[in-house]
Amino acid sequence: NELYRVIRKGGYLFVWEVNEKGVSFVDKYLKFHHPPEAKFNWEEFSNSLIDAHFTIEEQSKLVFDCFRAYMCKKTGTPSGRVIS
């Protein structure tokens, strides 16, 4: 994982992301096309961060439930923690 490689242990990752609802909205109204793998729910996204050895320390909704911000800390070992 590239993020794991470039962030030192104890370092932070800040992510602002849009989920499948937001991507579908953009596709429908702005006539874009995103591949299916670009569409995910928040549980899938959170689990992928954990699988990459990050602990989710904070997360918040930015716009409805389509955009979220995450603050994650590189732990070196998976924590198994998911915040819904």
Give me the chain's average pLDDT, please: 85
Helix (H) or strand (E) holding 4: helix 2-6
Task: Establish if 21 belongs to a structural domain.
Answer: yes
pLDDT at residue 12 greater than cutoff 70: yes
**pLDDT at site 56:** 96
pLDDT at residue 82 greater than cutoff 70: no
> Is 0.75 topped by the overall pTM?
no
Containing domain of residue 25, as a range?
Answer: 2-74
Tally of structural domains, the chain? 1
Task: Establish if 52 belongs to a structural domain.
Answer: yes
Q: Could you report the per-residue pLDDT of 36-63, keeping only the tens digit for each?
A: 887 888 899 899 999 989 999 999 988 8
Task: Establish if 81 belongs to a structural domain.
Answer: no
Radius of gyration from C-alpha coordinates of the chain: 14
Task: Establish if 82 belongs to a structural domain.
Answer: no
